[in-house]
Chains A and B, each alone.
Chain A
Amino acid sequence: MSYTSPTAEPPVLRLSGITKRFGALTANDAISFELNKGEVVALLGENGAGKTTLMNILFGHYVADEGSIEAFGQTLPPGDPKAALAAGIGMVHQHFTLADNMTVLENIALGTESLWRPRLDRASARTRIAKLAADFGLAVNPDARVGALSVGERQRVEILKALYRDARVLILDEPTAVLTPAETEALFRTLKMLVANGLSIIFISHKLGEVMAVSDRVLVLRSGRLAGERATARTTRQELAALMVGQEVKQPAVAPVTRGEALFVMNDVSTSARGAGAALDQVSLTLFAGEIVGLAGVSGNGQAALAGLIAGAERPVSGEMLIAGRAVANWSTRAALDHGIARIPEDRHAVGTIGDMSVTENVISERYRSARFSRHGFLDWKAARNFAEGLIRDYDVKCPSPEARIRLLSGGNMQKLILGRALDPDPAIVLANQPARGLDVGAVAYVHGKLLEARARGAAVLLISEDLDEIMALSDRILVISKGRLSAPSARGERTIGEIGELMAGHLERAA
């Protein structure tokens, strides 16, 4: 399939038959496409579909096993970022390539002058940055240290870096993953200005809404293959989602479940302030068996304190906590585990897993002391490995072996393992903190399905999320947290999204 380009000019980029293998895994399989001047092409695909690999090949970080790349009619030498830069290809990586200890100006100027020049020309760099910033709505203080900037500002620095090098093609890898909605809006405005100035953009994403909003054309990647190409104006989210995962995505059905006994009770619990987030202020909360409680709120309003408290990382300074009707003493993470509280942490990289340890070691990390995995103080590696293999099979985790370091897994697969680790012992209480953040459509549906299964089994689930759609879809009861206080609960369908949004903004009604 092909579509008429918006201009009659030859394509700015042409990828032909790109194939890249990592061992047994074929990350890119004979991918070919063209990019025309002044268009935004979205590269859509699930995590692990090969989007980032493809772009790393284009930018010269990886060398393709087969295939070739032409930029403005010239073949690019493989594996040479310098040549890609010189050809006018700029890339904004998902993980920013900025040095935190240097200023914005220094980061932008890095590599733009011959290394042997005795003096960096700051004055002219400053002038050019100011002009680019003004032209494309990328306001940022050139003398600020990058380490002190917000994520949105850092991204602007990355885009400025590319423009400063006269990029004609800009590749953005999951650019909105780290942005607030307002920052995303600003980014889209900038992209429109760039395209109006004749740049071409490749926008990598797994978020359908954004792809529909920002692109002219969509390329869908699935398992390393180009699964389809559509003009954005002539397609639908449903069609793209189906192309992405290879089948229709079914929203998990929420079957009615009778609410059981109270498994976890908090009465007037407060915590001491720690870190950036709000502390809990006399919070009362009851989790019942067979029920999902959704906790909505803007990040930093006490979610971290509440999650820490339930997980045992934090202790209450006042109030009481009851588990299965009994007050808890000596609250700690170990006590929480012993009481059957399963935890799906907010940050799967920093807290949920230990990146350089193996899959096996990670999945037994909460239960290595149990009789199942150890005897007389020695680990039973055979049992551990069997357990890991079981989880990999049951939770459909794509990973080379239980011995693989867990940081090599994609986010979705990592999350599946964390889910498996948490849910395998049939926990009574499940703390799911942002369980679907950053996951693709298929993985999100999978996680939601598992949480509903736990509920059907009779577990009490607390779902903490900033994604209101997720909260609305899953929760039997919805609470809003704001400045460390909880709103009165509302049953499924009782409040509209708008009303909940208002509560999130801080207009708390008095708790009943």
Chain B
Amino acid sequence: MEQALEILFTASFWVAAIRIASPLIFATMGELICERAGVLNLGIEGIMTVGAFAGWFTVYSGGDLWTGVAIAALAGAMFGLLHATLTVPLGLSQHVVGIGITLLATSLTYFTYRLALPEVTSPPKIEPFQPLPIPGLSQIPVVGEALFAQTPLTYLAFATVAVVAWVLYRTPLGLAMRAAGENPSAVEAQGISVTGIRMGAVMAGSALMAVGGAFLTMSAFNSFFFEMINGRGWICIALVVFGSWRPGKALLGAILFAAFDAYQIRLQQLSGGVVPYQVFLMMPYVLSILALVLVARRATYPKALMIPYQKGER
């Protein structure tokens, strides 16, 4: 028991928590942007897979790491464009399109992987992002190690939260995005294209999701393997609700979930096989359901979320 509590005060636990949180932060911000503009993007799981592969493959083929991130983002944006085209101007069901995008993107990724690397049995490795301790700050005990001795992509994840929050609340563009998700006719009445805002939001959001996927192959691990997204995309959808569509709260949610995850891995080692390991694997999900029940009941959805906007319809 004492040991179980001690885990919470070790630096390695928090380092792991922040590392596990990083891809979730990217993808959650991506989903949040889409939903704030009124589009539920269930393509997230597949788009993360695409990002994971595209980033890794770029580096594997000789590109540098940052080029890999950019290519991942671009690939994500392309799937975002497909999603947005179907759901925004054509007004198709966002659920159906989203799940379709996830299936398509995932399968296409595996297909491409097989085509590109037909002979390979064990996944080839790349040289991933290395930790970049920030001088001074990283010397602070526990906190410093957890927050300031991570890879550059983790820093980028935190910066993304700040940028998303700034854009949403401090810029004219953010106003238009939030209004597009709440009452699109308010946007249209000002001569701004709802279609443009929503498509842009879905593309930008999808790019962030893909970078979240790329984090896994380029920072957390060093190779691409099947099923590696493993439901993280779906967790991000829950995190957006948990965060009440606010970037700061969603960030907290991502860190909380990641902490649960890091904790259960360590508890598994402590339990010594008495409790089946699946119980520990399940724990973060059970806890996040509980957290959702507590928080999401009071959540106020963007009112136009999932409602296609057709100009001139009454």
Contacts and interface: CB of A to CB of B under 8 A. Distances in A.
A97 interface: yes
B299 to A, nearest CB: 12
A110 B176 contact: yes
A469 interface: no
A209 interface: no
A131 to B, nearest CB: 21
B187 A111 contact: yes
A102 B188 CA distance: 16
A61 B312 CA distance: 6
* Chain B interface helix/strand/loop/mixed: helix
Q: In the complex, which range does the number of interface residues on chain A fall in?
A: 20 to 34
Interface stretch (B27-35, B91-99, B165-173): B165-173
B190 interface: yes
Interface string B177-192: 0110011011111111
A498 interface: no
Contacts of B179: 99, 102, 107, 110
A148 to B, nearest CB: 12
B171 A110 contact: no
Interface stretch (A38-46, A114-122, A187-195, A309-317): A114-122
A120 B191 contact: no
A56 B313 CA distance: 11
B300 interface: yes
Contacts of B187: 110-111
A80 B176 CA distance: 18
Contacts of A85: 190-191
A98 interface: yes
B187 to A, nearest CB: 7
B310 to A, nearest CB: 12
A93 B190 CA distance: 12
Contacts of B191: 80-86, 111
A110 B312 contact: no
Interface residues on B, range: 20 to 34
Contact of A100 (B173, B183, B311): B183
| Residue in A95, A102, A114, A117 with the greatest tally of chain B CB atoms within 10 Å | A102
Contact of B178 (A102, A112, A118): A102
A62 interface: yes
A106 B175 contact: yes
Contacts of B125: none
Nearest to B186: A97
A107 B186 contact: yes
Contacts of A61: 188, 311-312
Interface in A73-104: 80-86, 91, 93, 95, 97-102
Given A62-B312, A111-B190, A115-B192, A102 B173 contact: no
Nearest to B245: A101
Contact of B182 (A81, A102, A116): A102
Contacts of B266: none
Contacts of B192: 110-111, 115
User: Which of A56, A101, A109, A116 has the most CB atoms of chain B within a 10 A radius of its CB?
Assistant: A101
Contacts of A62: 312
B20 to A, nearest CB: 31
A408 B178 CA distance: 28
Given A62-B312, A115-B192, A100 B172 contact: no
A113 interface: yes
Contacts of A120: 170-172, 174-175
Contacts of A82: 191
A100 B175 CA distance: 12
Given A62-B312, A102-B178, A97 B189 contact: yes
Nearest to B314: A408
Contacts of A98: 183, 186
B302 interface: yes
Nearest to B196: A115
A360 B300 CA distance: 35
A117 B172 contact: yes
Interface of A: 56, 61-62, 80-86, 91, 93, 95, 97-102, 106-107, 109-120, 408
Q: Across the A-B interface, give the 7 residue pairs with the lowest CB-CB distance, nearest first.
A: A111-B190, A82-B191, A99-B182, A99-B179, A97-B189, A97-B186, A113-B172
